[in-house]
Structure 1
Amino acid sequence: MNDDPALNRPLFNRFPALLSKLPFIPLGNLPTPVKPLAALADEIGIEDLWVKCDDISASVYGGNKIRKLEFLLADAMEQGCTSVLTFGGLGSNHALATSISCQQLGLNCIAVLTPEPATAAVRQTLRYHQRLGTRLEIAHRYADTRVIANKLIEELGTTNVYEVPFGGSSWLGATGFINAGLELADQIAAHQIAEPDTIYLGCGTAGSTAGLALGLQLAGLKTKIEAIQVTPESIRPTKLFAQLIKETGLRLRALDTSINLTRLPATAVNIRQDQLGDGYAMPTEAATEAARLMMQTEHIPASLTYTGKAMAALIADARNGRLEGKRTLFWNTFNSNPYPELPEDDSWRALPEGIHHLFSK
């Protein structure tokens, strides 16, 4: 393995001219492994099921967001920003991953958070933010997030604040997931896995889906993506996906003319809503059952927001015969690293008053 972490990212291996043109700072333990899920496959009646273990993508906090943050936070530092402003639901893994990475890099983190159901996981995430010193601002509606963000930028100064969008989904964030697609291609070339027919992953703001699709295209793979929508139509994930595909391709080609990301085939990605249920972070019976099966058969934890719903779609397709004779890869975007020991006392009272109801009995 090369001593330069950037050269361990396949995007830079394949397109070395990007090394001096893209901001990058190593945050992840990459590549993440691919493993067979024989017990789960047997349980749901298919033969060839694998997992891409992004749940262990970093030593402190895993999940898919670290791939985006390697580029986004490097950009923040190159611009001389001292604070990073981002967004998410109250239990957002993206917001938490951003805050953890900011702390590692000496950056301040501000998270504008929107409502989601009160669960033990949400409360633990908020306590983790409290431990990290994240500045939390509560938006009572998604529509309020922009107003709050503008006030924060005015307060702190436009040159001091770097804004990371919901889910880290910008062209630069998506570039981090191009690495993921190329990483899978390298693992296929190394015979760690044969080329999958289909990949399943959760889709919120479409950055991971877009980047992965572009990475697979760059690698010349024919693998299809089933992107399981977990956000409402008001977020417009299908439109975001199309915008990210176009902008990311254009931006990278402007940096290196050897990168030719042509229009994706219409069948390359299927963004589907059949597991959304009542909305973002609203558990469904299918997601709950999928999470139970993942833990029971493979000892893999899942969230009911993203991975549970993505696996629920995979299980439904398996039981409907759609995956018969196919090689299927589940992309685990969750964090499986344990949280540090967090208090169970009333220290939550120091959190913003607008979320005290989540803790009060």
Structure 2
Amino acid sequence: MLFSQIPRISLLTEPTLLEKAAHFGDTIGHSSLWIKREDVMGLGMGGNKVRSLEFWLGEALEKGCDIVLAAGLPPSNLCRLTAAACCRLNLDCEIIHNAAPSNTKPRRGDSRFLYDLMGVRQIYCGPVDEQARKAFVEERAQELKNQGRNPYILGDPVVGALGYVAAAQELLFQAEQKHIDLRHVFISASAGPTEIGLLFGLRLMGGPDLHVHLVSVEYPAHTFWPIAQEIWQGLCEKLHVTPPLSLQYNTHFYEEYLGPGYAKHSPETWLALRLLARTEGIFLDTTYNAKVFAGLTDLCQKGHLPTDEAAVIFHTGGVPTLLMGEE
């Protein structure tokens, strides 16, 4: 078994839904469009990080860690889901935000309200960049060690990518069960673990006719591919297997749907968000998934994607940010 020697806990009780988006597909001219509903999970309002947490927290427990440190901006999906997973496991957790603390009480519609409900401690290190935040987390971990604790700093990209190697396996099984001749898979591309784990799994277990479409929400290609290659190589070493197909085989990377930049909206982003809500009753976040749907729509309308070949879009979650007004 692929993961038999790797520590893992179970946070997903069953496969996520694979639903046909017939009305949305009809509207944009695609006859076989499916959505992999990673936004619908039982834990913490769902999202792609749940899959990574199965392996991150599995490693933490194997190492005997008694407290988990996770870092991100206040609306971070990773932070919210880490807190929820630690509550389920009865494991102490601290969330570190690279933002200024608020002087107001947590209220509904505020991410702090969710952490307050879960009883998780939040620490603010000020509006610093990721490198300074990383240094702060490491200092906090050392403080905890000095107090006799055994902290686990969450976020190793290779360990996290294992979650989407598993997701690829799940998707291919579902497609076979539903008799879908899957030819295209779309997912957002950011720092790498989710999309490279998925790509690794599809290249390991899928056929050579499968195309993977990565819609960038953060980096240009020249920045993204070195990050991706490092994670890919790490997966080869960790799983002791090399996919027969290469990282960039039938892989398409799109920078043109990034818009003004990471977490910055474009008119096309909101058009895609509204269109999916009005045709399927499914909501999207604007940082990641709405840009993927906008890209897919544009590719179909320009004739750059065969509209009769089955395509799956991964909806990786993040919808709570729409309600928090923090995107």
Cα distance between partner residues in 2 of 1:338 and 1:145:
22
Cα distance between partner residues in 2 of 1:304 and 1:115:
21
One of 55, 58, 65 as aligned partner of 2:49? 65
One of 323, 326, 330 as aligned partner of 2:309? 326
- CA gap of 1:238–1:22, structure 2 versus 1, over 3 A, is same
Identity among equivalent pairs (%): 24
Cα distance between partner residues in 2 of 1:129 and 1:333:
21
8 Å contact 1:205–1:235 — kept in the other structure? no
SS at match of 1:56: coil
One of 63, 82, 86 as aligned partner of 1:102? 86
Cα distance between partner residues in 2 of 1:244 and 1:263:
16
Cα distance between partner residues in 2 of 1:229 and 1:321:
20
One of 228, 238, 242 as aligned partner of 1:251? 238
Kindly state the Cα deviation for residue 336 of structure 1 after the two structures are TM-superposed: 5.9
The answer on 1:309 being equivalent to 2:273 is no
8 Å contact 2:64–2:150 — kept in the other structure? yes
Cα distance between partner residues in 2 of 1:112 and 1:284:
29
The answer on 1:161 being equivalent to 2:147 is no
The answer on 1:205 being equivalent to 2:191 is yes
8 Å contact 1:89–1:113 — kept in the other structure? yes
8 Å contact 1:288–1:308 — kept in the other structure? yes
8 Å contact 1:52–1:330 — kept in the other structure? yes
Structure-2 residue corresponding to 1:3 = none
Structure-2 residue corresponding to 1:273 = 255
- CA gap of 1:338–1:314, structure 2 versus 1, over 3 A, is closer
**Could you say which structure has the higher helix fraction?**
1
One of 145, 158, 163 as aligned partner of 2:133? 145
The answer on 1:87 being equivalent to 2:71 is yes
Cα distance between partner residues in 1 of 2:72 and 2:36:
24
Cα distance between partner residues in 2 of 1:230 and 1:291:
15
Kindly state the Cα deviation for residue 248 of structure 1 after the two structures are TM-superposed: 0.5
Give the total of aligned pairs: 314
Alignment of 1:124-135 (within 5 A): 124-132=110-118, 133-135=120-122
Structure-2 residue corresponding to 1:290 = 272
Structure-2 residue corresponding to 1:345 = none
Kindly state the Cα deviation for residue 30 of structure 1 after the two structures are TM-superposed: 2.7
Cα distance between partner residues in 2 of 1:154 and 1:135:
17
Kindly state the Cα deviation for residue 42 of structure 1 after the two structures are TM-superposed: 1.0
Cα distance between partner residues in 2 of 1:22 and 1:239:
25
1:127-157 CA-to-partner distances (Å, cap 9, x unmatched) read 2123222323244132321221122112111
For structure 1, the 5+ residue unaligned runs are 1-11, 254-258, 343-357
Amino acid at match of 1:48: S
Structure-1 residue corresponding to 2:226 = 239
Aligned Cα root-mean-square deviation (Å): 2.9
Give the TM-score taking structure 2 as reference length.
0.87
Structure-1 residue corresponding to 2:104 = none
Indicate the larger mover: 221-230 or 123-132: 123-132
Cα distance between partner residues in 1 of 2:153 and 2:309:
41
SS at match of 1:46: coil
1:257-288 CA-to-partner distances (Å, cap 9, x unmatched) read xx442461533323322222222221221111
Cα distance between partner residues in 2 of 1:245 and 1:122:
40
- CA gap of 1:232–1:217, structure 2 versus 1, over 3 A, is closer
SS at match of 2:96: strand
Cα distance between partner residues in 2 of 1:144 and 1:66:
26
The answer on 1:112 being equivalent to 2:75 is no
Amino acid at match of 2:78: H
Cα distance between partner residues in 2 of 1:122 and 1:314:
34
- CA gap of 1:206–1:338, structure 2 versus 1, over 3 A, is closer
SS at match of 2:39: helix
Amino acid at match of 2:182: P
Cα distance between partner residues in 2 of 1:249 and 1:268:
19
Cα distance between partner residues in 2 of 1:234 and 1:95:
27
For structure 2, the 5+ residue unaligned runs are 101-106
One of 6, 26, 32 as aligned partner of 1:42? 26
SS at match of 2:110: helix
SS at match of 2:317: coil
